[in-house]
Structure 1
């Protein structure tokens, strides 16, 4: 490293630290439904190690929860994977909105930013900018690193705890999926702009369930695709 590199390195570190610091209050909520997901993962016979690896590689709370829930419900691995992907299609809109932050960066930084982009650190970055603060790529990455650390630790803790409980249902752990998904939905709500995509997605699921012979997994996939399409047409990030 040359002397000329020091100021830039210092700036990167300070913005990473700022993103990590500012995300901590939101990370507490992530940790709560991370524990719930760990309990659900244990019902799917996933070990703490498997849960941690999944959280690190996938790192998509709602997508992981719906995929594992479908496995617990008896759906095949392919259907569970598609359901998880459909539910997280909104991340395509989020990452597309970050094109200015990714412009001119090496491929590994783009991949890192895409992997760590979530509803929470994306919204926090824009909130900081709205207040006149300096928040860009490294601020986003700092927040993402904080979230992924809390998510992996909490999911592993939940799965490990459930594995040593002889009768999880006696403690109400079978409600883990519902509780976790409610928490995630609440965290995703960002105002009235979300109303139409959410309503459209719910309506599609209800109609498909009522008038088609599709398995619930596929109705969820249709709902996710429909909601993402509505949000895209409306121009919602």
Structure 2
């Protein structure tokens, strides 16, 4: 068991990559907090996992709301007594070309994808510092490395997440905390699967490994960075993208 008795919070944990990570972490012995705004999916996943004998707890969370984050942290500490791992996986998109992007859509993506990562990490890190141990994994994207048409807001947040990751790695290393990021490429989520087949085929054609990523591919990267196998890795951005843009 690579995460035996570790307590992990996974934001955006009710669906897609986050759900895959919750299931994988539980198989590896962790106690998992499914932190998500989607109460219906979150409760359903919690019930399914508990019925299978897993130690999982759902907490409804709006990462963009500092008070919501503080209440989540309070609930986790009351229930488990510690927090070992934070996966900042929650995110959203509001895509549009630059000249058509609204201020509201720009702000919403900033609030969730960037401020949300800040809110959760700032609230949880003091407890990791007190324990002298912690693993923080932030979700960036290839869009934050290379940019992407129609994603001014999304690309900006994902690039900023890389900057925060490297800064926090420098600040927190001496406190026993590793901070890393994962940059997924085109991944087979519900959102991507709704795209026209022609678009999906184009995505597959521009990566060295001719397929879309599976949610498990990203979850496996989270697991490695959350485990003690990565104890001498910090400030790193792990690309899980099939070799895009090589």
Q: Please tell me whether Structure 1 or Structure 2 has the larger radius of gyration of its CA atoms.
A: 1
- More contact order relative to length (CA 8 Å, sep ≥ 6): 1
Question: Higher strand share goes to which structure?
Answer: 2
Question: Higher helix share goes to which structure?
Answer: 1
